[in-house]
Structure 1
Amino acid sequence: MHLDLRAQTLLKALVERYIADGQPVGSRALSKISGLELSPATIRNIMADLEEQGYVASPHTSAGRVPTPRGYRIFVDTLLTVQHIDESAVQARLQAASPQPQKLIANAAQMLSSLTQFAGVVLAPRHESVFQQIEFLRLGEKRVLLVIVAPSGDVQNRILLTDVDYTPAQLQQSANFINQHYSGLSFEDVRGRLQHELRQLRDDMGRLMQAAVEAGSQAMAESAEDMVIAGERNLLSVADLSSNMSSLRAMFDLFEQKTGLMQLLDVSSKASGVQIFIGGESQLVPMDEMSVVTAPYEANGKIVGTLGVIGPTRMAYERVIPIVDITSRLLSNALSNH
């Protein structure tokens, strides 16, 4: 960042004022709130430089300026003073939940939403795709029904399109082999073992089993509730997000399809500490009016998921960041003690 102290001070004052009231900030207001003893002309010149560098913009309807996503980024990374949040109050809310992991995760999403008045989101731990038993049923030429029975008794079905027309006897033999050797394991574990152990079987039988493992892993993953979102309705009352139909449509598409949001949370789980994605800079949540603040959480020292807050770019980052940080640490403690 190539900004001198005066420019930094004015940018910080502008962002804080804009976050507080949502109105473009003029030079006269900046001269009062920045604490700098500068002439209006000097302030205008500095603001013109900030605009040229892409940190602020001038709405057509006002003489004042508003921060751009790049301006927010500089503010969050270098100028922000984070608020102190009472951790005990957050802890009491989370401890009120059932000790079951899924209840803790749902409660964390609700708590993030209620504390920020935006949307809270938690990417749940990936369930290991453990199976108790599988069956193969021949549906027709080169079409096989894969039946997966989980330890809980849940049943998932997938149709496999095969290169070979397997006989019922071959299908039974393959199912018996998998059930005898791998029952109670996850499909991920089976995938690794198959590479070494299937050399003793015919190639076409091995291909059938590998196809079953891939389809089974996908089926089990899809059956799990991957992401919990709470408080989406809060965003309808945020003028920055609901003021025009295109923003509203993009927001609902984001929550309905979930793919970009889940990818963003998955990326966040690989980083340490709080991550802030401002406007469309992540490409996964391509809305200039929306930001996502995330943090990974752990169970017994291992990162198992990510949580965060989805809100407008014009959010009180100094308050949202510590809320996300504290919630991730408390959820980690609760899951580790479970």
Structure 2
Amino acid sequence: MSSTISLFLNLSQQVVIYMNIPVLIVGVIGGIFNLIVFLSFKTFRQNSCSFYLMIMSWVNIGQLLSGNFTRIMGGGYNIDWTQNSLFYCKIRWYFIQLFILTSYACLCFATIDQYLATSSRYRWQQWSNIKLAYYLCSASFIFAMLHGIPSIIFYNYGYSIVTGQRVCTITNSNYQQYKTYGYFLILTGFLPILITVLFGSLAYRNVQQIAYRTVPLVRRELDKQLTTMVLVQVVYSLIVIMPYTICLSVTTMLNLRNDPVIVAKLQFIEALAGAFYYSYFAAPFYIYICVSKRFRQQLAYVLSPIFISCSRRQPIISNNQVVPEINGNSFQN
């Protein structure tokens, strides 16, 4: 029995090391590039949908650093900071919930916004505005902050039946029930998936008809670009979020804590599903690059001056050399 447990624990460790570390690296880099592009263009800064995507890039980076990085250190290298600090045990889960809920809310808002922006009804189009985006993002962030307060109260130390080590876990049964059914299944499970799939489908239908309506060319191309970016991200989120949500919910609902072998197997499945789950926070930039030609062009436009300045070399002039002048100006390569 102990050899079986050791096998699955080792497999879980390898998954975390070889999957979560690349996700962390490419995710943080991609999030930074997203912010550079969204902040560099006035059309993005003044557009409500791109504002949602920009805020989502911020919180995705926060989630990768607070959730995934700690997961790598604990699951991959057995350096669990939550074991040494009760404060960190509590605050880590607080920030994880804060970033996850805000990220999901921004994706839902972006999908709804694109449905409104591409609607044929002018009254509905007016609901797609940057002022409302500020209010909704602020409200969702405040809600996520308040929602995380119980985690500070009810996360405490317990002991793992697999390793016997002290672990950071929920010690209140009522809050555990809410975390399973209210948080995992609803707030971060079926509710955001339902909203994004529903309004994403409606937005796709609107975009198919937008060519037949009198819409300025710049606005039409921007709506097509953002709708494509959002819809592909919705499909990807459906693929990577649901397995992890189901895995965590099943693990909690079956209450298999008395069988260490099964728990070790479930930990391996959870580690595998978790690696794909964290790719949700790392993938947006690469999704945009793949599906949007305009986004690639915008990225190249923003980065090209940086590469040009880095590649430009100043001429090395010795003391005995004279720099020729052309029309009174020094000539430099």
Relative contact order, CA 8 A, sep 6+: which one is greater? 2
State the TM-score, normalized to the length of structure 1: 0.19
State the TM-score, normalized to the length of structure 2: 0.20
Q: Which has the higher helix share?
A: 2
- Choose 1 or 2 for highest CA Rg: 1
Q: Which has the higher strand share?
A: 1
